[in-house]
Chain A
Amino acid sequence: MNEMTTIAPTTTVKDWESDQEVRWCPGCGDYAILKAVQRTLPEIGADPAKTVFVSGIGCSSRFPYYVESYGFHTIHGRAPAVATGVKLANPELDIWLITGDGDGMSIGGNHTMHFLRRNINAQILLFNNEIYGLTKGQYSPTSREGTTSPTTPLGSVDHALQPCVFALGAGARFVARGYDTSKNLPEVLKAAHAHQGAAFVEIFQNCIVYNKDRFADFTEKAVADQWQLWLKHGEPMLFGSVKSGGFKGIALDTQRLALKVVDVALGEDGKPDWQAAGVLVHDVTNRSVAHMLVELPMGLFPVALGVIYDDPKPTYESAVLAQDEVARQGKSTDLAKLFAKGQTWQVTEDQGPLSGV
């Protein structure tokens, strides 16, 4: 996001809806994400004239057409590179990068890596449905091993990529996770927007046609509190409930230097006694723990959600601007002087050439 220097206009959810008919499949998780974004924008005081949605290619990348702001639907995988140019040309613009697991992690993985490494101030929303939707159901780099698809009729054999692991590896200073229908998604988006720098948000998204209910194991209401670990800075890493068979927490296995799940008993006050169980308190600036959280294997551990890591560093565009300004100080912008730089010589009318300077 940007430091707001002017008071932004007050907007409503309606103001962020474009006149275009939304053309995702009925029931697609993208609808819920679109709504969450449109709900977030008024709350953060965003100005439609200064907001730019940039996307690549894929189902998710149709997103900009549906938001009443500036928008650029670019080409497959290249949205981070286009957004880099937009931001360097006008750092005042507030950029939302919309991408998917194929667009951002496969064909555009290189650009995503460098966008994060450079730390360009923007929000990156990666819709992860673990499948290629727009091209009709081929497996993607985030598809789990054994995924059968038109291109892997016998099941995929390559190891799945984990976007948040990739992001941290590329040097991201903000990594968060959410899922399409989560009521917490706007809060995650707000935190991403508040972060000064490249804010990477992986959003698990249900592709109801080609990969239906892929994330139901942890998103279904009935299992949510056992399999979702919502992280909040300064609060213990607790999940579960009395109803679902007790509270649990995440603690550090000091022998193996890995995370482990511990049972958390209720204290005398009837609240979970997480301290006694050695449950970790979430610190968004702890990069080592962030690495462990994003690598927790699904099925054995709950899925870490919310803001996993948030520790800002100077942005690329601010460094470029500062450097350019210094480089420009006191320098002549006279073209005539520029042309005549270096060793020159004068040719006069009567005598032809003359000795030089």
Chain B
Amino acid sequence: MASVVEAGVQDRSTDNTPEAVVVRFAGDSGDGMQLTGGQFTLSTALNGNDLATFPDFPSEIRAPQGTLFGVSAFQINFGSTEISTAGDQPDVLVAMNPAALKVNLASLKQGGLIIADTGEFNKRNLEKAKYEVSPLEDGSLAKWKVLAFDISALTMESVKPFGLGNKEALRCKNMWTLGLALWMFDRDRGPLIDWLKGKFAKNPVLADANIAALNAGHAYGETAELGGQVRQQHIPAAPQKPGLYRTITGAEAVSLGLVTGAKLADLPMFFGGYPITPASAILHYLAKMKEFGVTTFQAEDEIAAVASAIGAAYAGSLGVTSSSGPGIALKGEALGLAVMTELPLVVVNSQRGGPSTGLPTKTEQSDLYQAIYGRNGDTPMPVIAARSPADAFECAIEACRLAVQFMTPVMLLTDGYIGNAAEPWKVPDPATFEPFPVKFLAEHNNEGGKILPYKRDENGVRPWIKPGTPGMMHRIGGIEKAKDTGDIDYSPAVHQMQTDARKDKIDGIANHIPAQEVSQGTEGGKLALVGWGSTFGPIHQAVRRARAKGQDVSHIHIRHIWPMPANLGDLLKSYDKIIVPEMNTGQLKTVLRDQYLVDAKPLNKVSGQPFTIAEIEAAIDAALA
């Protein structure tokens, strides 16, 4: 969500212009739907609408053409009011082939608009989509408005002057469709034309062809008789706080946050990563940010990625690694080493559906246990969860801060949805951030005796000593260690003492993080919805609607998953009932029950799709009935 302005609940303003519209572009994974969606997003942002997007694509790079499992979709919800989810039900479905129609039809709002490319509704494609008769002709789409015409042929016609081959010409279909969509919502084509010129700078013919297709789609909307089913709509801009804005995805936000965190800590950053969906984007972004003191390293595997980051942290850099659940599992032993040696490290987990390979491109929140508990031994580690793409920026900075201030690895949780989705972001002023510069130990801390690398300060934190510092040579490792000196010592009392010390240090972080706020509603009441991570949007909207109906419900969204804010227990106990909506089978719910002995009730969804607002509203109604 962008800057939050509480909006009214009516869906339509007085002149019958909708406050928000949900559009879903769906086609073959080779049809360029993600690109179309991305550009439509940009145009929407430039129009001043608030927005949220949901890229929904298969894990196959190029699934066989026309198949049901090869359908790739991009959904965007935009409006003149605050938007915090990608929308429950699309108002408009653009279906580039029969499979795209079939897969996405169920979610289309009753009375919604279908735009279909009849050029692709041929016998072969219908068979692949398991249609016996074309749905465009058998009346089965009666409850929706259908706008079907031969986009393929129209595109071919529009790019004829450029002499492209058949295949290349048809590739321009997505731009034609985008042109039509831009017309529908009264958008300026200028920024898109600039973008196409830049993208195809080396191949001006392709640039011109795509621009021609875009213009042709736009002109089609303007001039063709669209049967009165479609009229041009202008969605007014959403009220936002003044300032400079851009769109940002979670992966971009994490990257910018890490770069900022390193700068605030006054450290070079070392990022060790290994390709994995949906986390790779962070490595891609950072690899292009060397000028900010970033060194990126594509390691041979997940273990080497984290181990190299630990090595870099030992040598005095801000060590960072990133992965998704399966990769985090592989990193587990090394995370234990970072806990044991007490070295700072930031670990980003872009969660996906599990277990095992699971649903690589779909979203889930099922790594909460793994983040808090998933290592051998008593191995406490702070865990922070981002609620949205823009929020991931601040969370990444916070992860860096905790890592260096407390000499500990920190887990930052995002998910596939946050990583890929885009939303408007108010560009922050770096001068407003509070620096937390690292001070390496420069003076011997035990003059006349041996250096004490594990001498703890009042927060239980040990000094950070860089190899290369004269006179402070010492050894660290994964074996249990004596007080202060860090010498190997696994006597019973020492292990008890150090285990307690490591736990106390992490528990104590609760006093150095912000108190838990109620993000919507009141402290105390009949019902609290307690969430974390990317469920923020649907919970927020559901609570907003419920409160407008007069229901006594509040929304608490936890960023600091471990340790939890010091006031959280009392806050939770001030409500009669607690519901925890999560995209897992009840992990935060269990942690809350364990930590505070509260009767937290689960609301779970693990379909690989985000919660809809309606699902959460229904749970509120049931709880308050």
Contacts and interface: CB of A to CB of B under 8 A. Distances in A.
Given A336-B429, A353-B237, 16 more contacts: A64-B477, A70-B467, A70-B474, A71-B473, A85-B272, A90-B316, A93-B315, A113-B300, A324-B290, A327-B290, A331-B290, A332-B291, A344-B246, A344-B427, A355-B188, A356-B45
A347 B240 contact: yes
A73 B313 CA distance: 15
A346 B475 CA distance: 54
B161 interface: no
A74 B337 contact: yes
Contacts, number: 218
Nearest to B478: A75
Interface stretch (B9-17, B116-124, B255-263): B255-263
A241 to B, nearest CB: 44
B241 interface: yes
A85 B290 contact: no
Contacts of B191: 343, 356
13 contacts: A50-B467, A70-B468, A75-B337, A85-B272, A90-B466, A111-B304, A114-B299, A328-B291, A333-B293, A339-B427, A343-B246, A345-B46, A347-B244
B91 to A, nearest CB: 22
Given A81-B299, A356-B46, A73 B478 contact: yes
Nearest to B47: A353
A85 B307 CA distance: 7
Given A18-B475, A73-B475, A85-B315, A348 B450 contact: no
Contacts of A72: 311, 314, 341, 475-477
B317 interface: yes
Interface size class of A (residues with CB under 8 A): 35 or more
Nearest to B393: A339
Contacts of A222: none
Contacts of B243: 346-347
Given A65-B488, A336-B430, A345 B48 contact: yes
B182 to A, nearest CB: 14
A341 B289 CA distance: 12
B377 interface: no
Given A89-B295, A339-B256, A349-B242, A81 B308 contact: yes
A344 B292 CA distance: 22
Contacts of B245: 344-347
B239 interface: yes
Contacts of A348: 242
A82 B314 contact: yes
B309 interface: yes
B236 to A, nearest CB: 8
Interface residues of B, number: 77
B391 to A, nearest CB: 15
A335 B292 CA distance: 9
Interface string A166-198: 000000000000000000000000000000000
Interface string A301-338: 00000000000000000001000100110011101101
Interface string A109-147: 011011000000000000000000000000000000000
Nearest to B287: A327
Contacts of B469: 49
Given A49-B470, A89-B316, A352-B239, A110 B301 contact: yes
List of 9 A-B pairs having minimum Cβ-Cβ separation, nearest first: A353-B48, A85-B311, A73-B477, A85-B308, A81-B307, A353-B237, A331-B291, A71-B475, A89-B315
Contacts of A342: 246-247
Contacts of A80: 304
Contact of B45 (A52, A320, A345): A345
A82 B48 contact: no
A268 interface: no
B310 interface: yes
B376 to A, nearest CB: 11
Contacts of B246: 339-345
A57 to B, nearest CB: 8
Contact of B300 (A49, A111, A349): A111
Contact of A114 (B188, B239, B242, B304): B304
For B310, B314, B336, the residue with the greatest tally of chain A CB atoms inside 10 Å of its CB is B314
B620 interface: no
Contact of A82 (B47, B291, B311): B311
B442 interface: no
A19 B299 CA distance: 36
Contacts of A18: 475
B312 A78 contact: no
Contact of B476 (A73, A111, A355): A73
B291 to A, nearest CB: 4
Interface in B371-394: none
Contacts of B49: 353
A268 B314 CA distance: 62
B467 A84 contact: no
Interface string B295-306: 101011101110
For B49, B241, B304, B428, the residue with the greatest tally of chain A CB atoms inside 10 Å of its CB is B304
Nearest to A323: B290
A324 B471 CA distance: 31
Contacts of A320: 295
Contacts of B475: 18, 20, 64-65, 70-73
A86 B314 contact: yes
